[in-house]
Amino acid sequence: MSMEATDVTDPEYFHKVVDCQWACPAHTPVPEYIRLIAQRRYTDAFMINWESNVFPGILGRTCDRPCEPACRRTRVEDKPVAICRLKRVASDYRGDISDRLPKIPTHKNGRHIALVGAGPASLTVVRDLLPLGYECTIIEKAPKGGGLMCTNIPEFRLPVKVLDEEVNRVLDLGAYSRFNEEITSLADLLNEDFDAVFIGSGAPRGKDLSLPGRSEASANIHIGTDFLGSVAFGHTEEIGRRVVVIGGGNTAMDCCRTARRIGGKNVFVTVRSPRSDMKASEWEIDDTEREGIPILDNHNPVEFVLTDGKLSAVVFEKMQAEYDASGKRTLKPTGEPPVVIECDDVLMAIGQENSFPWIERDLGVDFDDHGMPVVDSQTFQSTRPGVFFGGDAAWGPENIIWAVAHGHQAAISIDLHLRDEDLRKRPSPLTNLVSTKMGIHEWAYDNEISNDKRYVVPHTALDDALASLSVEVELGYDERLALAEAKRCLNCDIQTVFEGPRCIECDACTDICPVDCINFTANSEETDLRSRLRVPAENLEQALYVSDALKTGRVMVKDEDVCLHCGLCAERCPTGAWDMQQFFYQETGAQKPQVHAIAE
């Protein structure tokens, strides 16, 4: 059976070609904002981001960047475009945006939403609903907004000024804030007569280990997230000289680097698993080691040792990973003598979990066996209509960008719910496909491919960085580096659109294509077709673009995998059968979509 011709009118087809945007939970139009940066239109680039992900300045420093491993550049070269740090560039160099923010109606629609927690999920819901005339009240136990972005990300990675600016930009649209107030009963909150409740309270509880000596030494054993929050609010200003951090995730990296700045001289990170299995992002591990903090892998803590009633050391057994035939890992002790690390303080960063002691179990909000709320993965509604969850509160710890994506979807649902419409009727994305042809071999985008390697973001000198909690380690790209890095983007949203009836099958596109992705061949079923291409299409994640039968009976088959979007196929096409067309895809939020000017 032959392959069907590709339906390029389905917006998801070209969306998937834009690997970075497809991978971004909030589907930020990445190539579009990078192109705007390349044109030094930083404010425009910022607004594209702000519309999609609400916190460009924060995410440009802290995002877990699911877009970067997806970047096509990793498949033709080595490293992805520094998408995340270019987002920061848009934020660093933007101009005034106050006149571009949505206008908030003075006449409200009479509906009032309560939001529990002032983290990224709740703030996104607020950002999306205020312009529609909803009133929003955020209730937060901390004295300010930001949630875990505020309490768990140290200032040397995310300056308070940047955080406050982006959080306040949302709150200042007209949200009501009830800070320093901890919700202890959902029933009480529901009695306050809100029209809907959004729970974005995060996954606030740091996990603990019950080992011998744990309770006796508790004065010097701290839960990582609590420690970071306490430092962020100035309650903790110092720590012992010798610190052991237990855990291998990003929180552990933040803990050890914070400790290093408030008195820790000999700071160790210990992790049970092999280094290659560590949960922390590669770049966070790099930053940690750059600060001279050793990471000891395969170290499993077994006991806290006390001397004179005070913590004096942690005992570890050495582990090794064994993998069975299916690749499943088990950690087993090696039997080597235990390792004793002397220390004054221990920071425990072994994960976080949700905890909902404040939600009564008889309200119709169901919980599963693991104590997690039952939440619809599309609508974000709980089993009680009108109560919604998002962010870490919904399915456990994730990254900020996921919380933002959840917030957008929850806002859509809340709006539909309060308009008595079907929550399953999700709005279609806003898409546009328009030719970039300006003349013979002239395009509305820069189609020259940069051979440059990824540019390193400059850092503050190590001594200066370690001297203070508030000195930002990463300096961000200067303009010269930013423009050079932006030029590495392959413009994957400029699509190669093929119009079969115009094609004379002259082979010009096949011959010029630098990555051999265009073929003219007999159609067949997909597996066979993939194997018969000029270079077999072995990356099954990537689609084949198949045309209808051409004059000779053959079809055009393009393997999307490593297409550079250089436009040479269109430049060498004598009949205009190939065209380079800009594909714009924007998720539609609860708010009326603001059509952003595309490359004027």
Partner 1 sequence: MTHIAKPKFHHPSLPKNKLGLTHRDYEGVVSTLCAGCGHDSVSAAIIDACFRSDIEAHRIAKVSGIGCSSKTTNYFLRQAHGFNSVHGRMPSVATGANLANNSLTYIGVSGDGDTASIGLGQFCHAIRRRLNMVYIVENNGTYGLTKGQFSATNDRNSKGRTGKENPYPAIDLCSLAVQLGAGFVGRGFSGDKEQLVPLIQAALKYRGFALIDVISPCVTFNNHAASTKSFDYVRDHNDVMDRLDIVPHREEITAEYEEGSTVDVTLHDGSQVTLSKIAKDYDPTDAESVLPMLHAERNGGAIATGLLYIDPEEQDLHELMHTSVTPLNSHTHDLLCPGNETLAGINAAHR
Which parts of this chain interact with partner 1 (CB under 8 A)? 75-77, 441-442, 447-449, 451, 504-508, 510-512, 514-517, 535-536, 538, 551-552, 562, 564, 566, 568, 571-575
Place of tokens 């119709």: 364
Q: What share of the chain is helix, strand, coil (3-state, %, to 5)?
A: 30, 20, 50
Residue type, 582: Q
Question: Based on CB atoms, which residue is closest to partner 1, 277 or 442?
Answer: 442
Q: How far is the CB of 327 from partner 1 (least distance, A)?
A: 24
List the one residue out of 51, 8, 47 whose CA is nearest residue 26. Answer: 51
Q: Choose between 183 and 533: whose C-beta lies nearer to partner 1.
A: 533
Could you tell me the smallest distance in angstroms from the CB atom of residue 451 to partner 1? 6
C-alpha dihedral sign at 453, 92, 84, 352:
positive
Question: What span, in angstroms and rounded, lies between the C-alpha atoms of 258 and 230?
Answer: 11
> DSSP 3-state assignment of 485?
helix
Judged by CB, which is closer to partner 1: 400, or 570? 570
Least separation in angstroms between CB 449 and partner 1: 4
Supply the minimum distance, in Å, between the C-beta of residue 75 and partner 1.
7
3-state secondary structure of 579: strand
**CB nearer partner 1, residue 360 or residue 446:** 446
Taking the complex as a whole, the smallest distance from the CB of residue 511 to partner 1 amounts, in Å, to: 4
Shortest reach from residue 574's CB to partner 1, in Å: 3
Listed in sequence order, the residues at least 6 apart from 379 whose beta carbon sits closer than 8 Å to its beta carbon are: 388, 409, 413, 423, 424
In the complex with partner 1, which residue's Cβ is closer, 316 or 520? Answer: 520
Lookup result for tokens 């999306």: 128
260 in Cβ contact with 237 (< 8 Å): no
- Residue closer to partner 1 (CB basis): 396 or 514: 514
- Contact status, residue 427 vs residue 144, Cβ threshold 8 Å: no
* Closest separation in Å from C-beta 579 to partner 1: 13
The 8-class DSSP code of residue 598 comes to P
Query: In angstroms, what CA-CA distances link 268 with 239, 293, 342?
Result: 14, 6, 10
**CB nearer to partner 1: pick between 110 and 574:** 574
Residue position matching structure tokens 């960085």: 465
Nearest to partner 1 of 101, 512 (CB atom): 512
Cβ neighbours, 10 Å, residue 467 = 11
HSE-up (13 A, CA, CB side) for residue 182: 6
Q: Compute the least distance from the CB of residue 514 to partner 1, in Å.
A: 5
